[in-house]
Structure 1
Amino acid sequence: MTLKNTADRWGGVSQFLHWLIVLLILILAVVGLSLDSLPKSPKYFWVYDLHKSTGLTVLALVVVRFGWRLYAGAPAPVAGTPSWQARIAGATHWLLYALIFAIPLSGWLYDSASGLRPLKWFGLFTVPKLSGPNAGIRDLAHEAHEWLFWALVALVVLHAAAAFYHHVFQRDDTLTRMLPRRRNATPTSR
């Protein structure tokens, strides 16, 4: 497998970053949606700090992914893809990048404006605040964080549905080119 994207496949780096970010976002979603139901105990604050640290990690990874995309390019649309579908797919990808960037940024701004204790990224170093305590910014950032998350959920559902539509009904390589290639099994002689 090549690390860089080719004309017909996503390379190993793009695949790794894609699936790592997907996994981390799933974890963030489960934790984030359950935070309100947790009792305010020391464990709650540990989980909350873990959520924030993981969100900042996603922010850094999406910056790396965006940079890699600019460097390595993207595969051409699958042969036979109508131009309107290719344009929608391209716009969807850029919107996904924007949302995956904006959600942790709004969470970071929410944390900063809340005036809470300093955030330590996985307990290793203190993350700088984006603003001082400010109730107006805090409320706006919190609302944005939630609405952007739900917009991401909707877009991811459409993105995944389109990939499965292409795989099942169009029977093209749209989905499989983001998956690692299977190694060809060598026939065994009997």
Structure 2
Amino acid sequence: MKSDPASNIGNITRVAAGDDRTVYDNFAVFLHWLTVLLVLSQFALALTWEWFARPTRHLMIVAHMSFGIILAAVIVVRLVWRLLPGHQVAPAVSGWVEMASKAVHYLLYAMLAAEAVLGFMLRWSGDESMSFFGLLIAPPFAPFSKPAHHLVGELHELNGWAIIILAAGHAAAALYHHYVLRDRVLSRMLPPLREG
């Protein structure tokens, strides 16, 4: 089977330029760390808004909804970016570790998507509008019964805790790779250091 000369030249040019597809591109790195920041912000807001009285609590809830909508958009952009040709990165590990890593990533994506859906459903099932920095998004369906609305709230909270636990395990694994195994798993997702 003959290889495509244009493809070979493109690969040679890419490798000569320092892009051997062993690290993520700058936009993928930005999206990853933006996701981390948004997830931690969402968790912190939900965990602490009960400590505050109105209007601070209301502002924190609106921020939670607004950041949740941004997080949902970031997840969609991450998935699209990852699927576009030229943005795939060769696995840093192989065997069962590679399969476990992929499983954790896919599970995190699925749980984040579910959390966004549950967040919308929670507001709308209680006959309340979503708010995107004050721009109201009215419920598109009739309110749920109180038990069903309560169940959606519990699922949203449990899934949020599960995301934090899985993300913490993901971070611990990256640190283990970096400091114990001393491989490039973590450095592939760090912003490039500029030499000056």
**Normalization by structure 2: what TM-score?**
0.83
Q: Which amino acid aligns with 1:143?
A: E
- 1:56 is matched with which residue? 69
1:26-65 CA distances to partner (integer Å, 9 max, x unpaired)?
11111100122222x2332222111111111111111111
- The answer to whether structure 1 residue 183 and structure 2 residue 184 are counterparts is no
CA distance in 2, matches of 1:92, 1:74: 17
CA distance in 2, matches of 1:110, 1:89: 31
- 2:178 is matched with which residue? 167
**Normalization by structure 1: what TM-score?**
0.85
| Matching of residues 78-97 of structure 1 within 5 Å | 78=92, 81-97=93-109
Which secondary structure state, in structure 2, belongs to the residue aligned with residue 10 of structure 1? Answer: coil
- The answer to whether structure 1 residue 14 and structure 2 residue 28 are counterparts is yes
RMSD between aligned residues = 1.9
Match 1:69 to one of 82, 91, 103:
82
Q: Which amino acid aligns with 2:119?
A: G
Q: Which runs of 5+ in 2 are unaligned?
A: 1-13
Residues 109 and 131 in structure 1, CA contact (< 8 A), matched pair in contact too: no
Q: Which runs of 5+ in 1 are unaligned?
A: 186-190
CA distance in 2, matches of 1:136, 1:130: 20
- The answer to whether structure 1 residue 43 and structure 2 residue 53 are counterparts is no
Identity of aligned residues (%): 33
CA distance in 1, matches of 2:95, 2:49: 43
Q: By how many angstroms is 1:155 displaced?
A: 0.7
* More displaced 10-residue stretch of structure 1: 129-138 or 59-68: 129-138
- 1:138 is matched with which residue? 149
- The answer to whether structure 1 residue 32 and structure 2 residue 46 are counterparts is yes
Change (3 A) 1:59 1:6: farther
Q: Which amino acid aligns with 2:78?
A: R
The number of residue pairs the alignment matches comes to 177
1:158-188 CA distances to partner (integer Å, 9 max, x unpaired)?
1111111111111111000101111234xxx
Which secondary structure state, in structure 2, belongs to the residue aligned with residue 146 of structure 1? Answer: helix
- The answer to whether structure 1 residue 23 and structure 2 residue 37 are counterparts is yes
1:87-122 CA distances to partner (integer Å, 9 max, x unpaired)?
000111111111111112211110111112x33311
- 1:188 is matched with which residue? none
